[in-house]
């Protein structure tokens, strides 16, 4: 009997150590997945930031092009004026020859500057064309996303008319009745899914600090009138945010363009 008790005790100790080891391995795995997820989110935020930087650079290039064109026109006028002075100098006496030579040197310098400005204008024009092409692609993508968003909102509106939304009963105590009547309800926040990461179980939305989103807010994820589950905001950026899909959510059915509606 003592040997059997010792054997049982040894088995229990081994099982406990194995359980603790598995729990530690699981915790380390989750931490690694969360770190990978943060890297993915940061890369996406960096891509949006680079897009804005390209748009800003495009505006600066356009402004620089206009300034260069004004400068070229000014230099051309100066060249014409110097040419006129050169012709007048030729008709003058030898006492003005020194001034004529100086005018020739100045004219040559202006022409060199003009050629340099023209070459620079050509280079900037090529860069502008390239940036314009990229800008048009980005603009077309934005228009497409806006159209998809409008179509989704229209679908939600139509489904809402067909299926009335049930609201939770609001109980107002006598002490808070006046306070509740004086404070209007805050509008329900809505947005759109930009990215779905099924591997790490989160989505990226188009609601950010610009719309006063806060960490911890929960949303329903909808595909038209179909409920796909709930997600909770866990990281907020300037114009977007990431949200963890809560247990029970159908993340495999979630996709770009799904509508998110704040849970009250």
Q: Are 78 and 114 in contact (CB under 8 A)?
A: no
Rg (CA), the chain: 35
The percent of residues above 70 in pLDDT, for the chain, comes to 73
Is the same domain home to 128 and 205?
no
Please report the pLDDT score of residue 126 as a whole number.
Answer: 56
The arithmetic mean of pLDDT across residues 24-35, rounded, is: 84
Q: Are 228 and 260 in contact (CB under 8 A)?
A: no
Q: Looking at the 3D structure of the chain, how many domains does it have?
A: 2
Is the same domain home to 151 and 66?
yes
Domain with 209 in it = 188-262
Is the same domain home to 65 and 127?
yes
Residue 229 lies in a domain: yes
Residue 175 lies in a domain: no
Confidence of residue 23 (pLDDT cuts 50, 70, 90): confident
Q: Are 223 and 213 in contact (CB under 8 A)?
A: no
At residue 129, does pLDDT exceed 90?
no
Q: Tokens 């489904």 map to which residue?
A: 159
Please report the pLDDT score of residue 142 as a whole number.
Answer: 59
Residue 221 lies in a domain: yes
Is the same domain home to 60 and 145?
yes
Is the same domain home to 129 and 200?
no
218 by Cβ neighbours in 10 Å (0-12 / 13-18 / 19+) ranks as middle
Residue 235 lies in a domain: yes
Is the same domain home to 69 and 155?
yes
Q: Which of 61-70, 108-117, 148-157, 228-237 has the lowest mean pLDDT?
A: 148-157
CATH of the domain at 255: 2.40.10.340
The percent of residues above 90 in pLDDT, for the chain, comes to 25
Residue 26 lies in a domain: no
pLDDT tens for each residue of 45-65: 888 888 888 888 888 888 888
Residue 240 lies in a domain: yes
Is the same domain home to 78 and 158?
yes
Residue 216 lies in a domain: yes
pLDDT tens for each residue of 164-212: 444 344 444 444 444 444 455 567 889 999 999 999 999 999 999 988 8
Maximum mean pLDDT: which of 40-44, 81-85, 258-262: 258-262
Is the same domain home to 59 and 95?
yes
Is the same domain home to 251 and 215?
yes
Please report the pLDDT score of residue 32 as a whole number.
Answer: 84
Residue 83 lies in a domain: yes
Chain-wide mean pLDDT for the chain?
78
Please report the pLDDT score of residue 47 as a whole number.
Answer: 84
Q: Are 192 and 149 in contact (CB under 8 A)?
A: yes
């Amino acid at each position: 009997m003592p040997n059997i008790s010792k054997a049982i005790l040894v088995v229990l100790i081994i099982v406990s150590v194995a359980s603790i080891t598995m729990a530690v391995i699981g915790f380390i795995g989750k931490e690694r997945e969360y770190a990978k997820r943060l890297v993915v989110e940061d890369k996406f935020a960096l891509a949006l930031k680079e897009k804005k930087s390209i748009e800003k650079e495009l505006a600066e290039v356009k402004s620089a092009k206009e300034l260069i064109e004004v400068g070229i026109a000014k230099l051309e006028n100066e060249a014409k004026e110097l040419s006129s002075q050169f012709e007048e100098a030729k008709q003058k006496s030898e006492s003005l020859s020194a001034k004529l030579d100086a005018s020739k040197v100045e004219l040559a310098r202006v022409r060199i500057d003009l050629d340099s400005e023209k070459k620079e204008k050509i280079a900037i024009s090529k860069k502008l064309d390239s940036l314009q092409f990229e800008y048009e692609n980005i603009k077309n993508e934005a228009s497409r996303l806006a159209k998809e968003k409008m179509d989704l909102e229209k679908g939600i509106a139509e489904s809402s008319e067909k299926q009335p939304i049930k609201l939770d009963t609001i109980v107002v105590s006598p002490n808070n009745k006046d306070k509740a009547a004086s404070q209007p309800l805050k509008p329900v926040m809505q947005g759109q899914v930009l990215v779905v990461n099924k591997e790490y179980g989160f989505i990226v939305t188009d609601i950010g600090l610009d719309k006063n989103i806060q960490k911890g807010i929960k949303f329903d994820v909808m595909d038209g009138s179909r409920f796909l589950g709930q997600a909770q905001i866990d990281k907020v950026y300037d114009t977007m945010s990431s949200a963890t899909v809560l247990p029970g959510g159908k993340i495999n059915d979630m996709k770009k363009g799904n509508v998110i509606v704040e849970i009250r």
